[in-house]
Copies of this chain bind each other. A is one copy, B any other.
């Protein structure tokens, strides 16, 4: 069961002017399941993306990077679930060209104006024959308010659709931001996560949009981990259609407000991935404070967030907190003075001076461990940097889900 997961009322999901979405079923994994999603952007829309750093990056990721690099006017996205088109070599690349060309033809745009995305099993050929007939169907269903259905149609092992939406007033006009994401396992994004799509009807210049997309990814999707496995297909896209007529100048107050709202939506979408992570029963925030550098803070945060021993202790609600100390100790910060740091679980000071806080009582740790949302804080007293990573516990269901994934 997802942890404190909020599925918004469909009335609170605001369509974005200049964005249409169409959905169809190609029967890639299961007959009848919606598995093809098409985004159609109005001409003039700016699109920016960040992608996985995995060297075995999927064919569609390679094509996205190329097409965004030459600053084509991207006007459509083609997303399939059920097959990742990764580890598929040259044939996979050709297959992604073929399917995105089919969408371009259906929309009467140039091939290079389509970005393709795939998610699902790796190392299996893309079922092009199934996908091609579904594309005109998806196009025939293009409509303004299909965000909720799109969040559904991009799910794989996700148990709930992930969607967030917000409206704000800028210069007396309404600007909308809406986004969807998916992912529950193979989650340790290292640019962005598989898959996040956001759109706003504010106008944002191409270069600025690319810059803030990267920055926003680093505050949201690049700060979550389920299992430390960086996917071959991670992709995060922001599209700015400009159809609200609002075009705030960079460095204006309105731009800052827009930036903060975009960041909020991205964080919400990223955190929703953790709340619905495979087998998760707890939502865990790991916050490292007073670090010398962002790098050392993240080393320690991820050592804690990836430790199977820490994660199974959370699953058991067992305050076996020495495991967190062990993870801090092996994180690779070679000059760390362990007598100078403090470990807090929620508000409870667990360890200081290199050992257990004499005032700490097991019942205090147990009370925090019993919660579904847990904050782990490590105060290093080495500098002024804070970094926060979001993760979940490690349960029997994680093993079951991933042992049975293909069956």
Contact = CB atoms under 8 A, between A and B. Distances in A.
Interface string A182-209: 0001101010000000000000000000
A363 to B, nearest CB: 14
Contacts of A125: 356
A121 interface: yes
Give the number of times this chain occurs in the complex, counting copies: 2
Interface residues of A, number: 72
A325 interface: yes
A330 B399 contact: no
A313 B122 CA distance: 13
Contact of A90 (B186, B355, B394): B355
Given A308-B228, A339-B89, A354-B87, A55 B318 contact: no
Main secondary structure of the interface of A (DSSP, over half): loop
B312 A402 contact: yes
Contacts of A407: 316, 318
Nearest to A306: B228
A312 B186 contact: no
A333 B57 CA distance: 13
A386 interface: no
A322 B231 contact: no
Contacts of A327: 229
A64 interface: no
Contacts of A400: 396
A309 to B, nearest CB: 5
Interface in A73-121: 84, 86-92, 121
Contact of A353 (B52, B89, B396, B404): B89
A90 B232 contact: no
A37 interface: no
A66 to B, nearest CB: 16
Contacts of A320: 121-122, 405-406
Given A87-B325, A124-B356, A188-B330, 13 more contacts: A56-B329, A86-B326, A89-B356, A123-B321, A186-B323, A229-B326, A232-B325, A308-B394, A308-B398, A313-B402, A320-B405, A320-B406, A396-B399
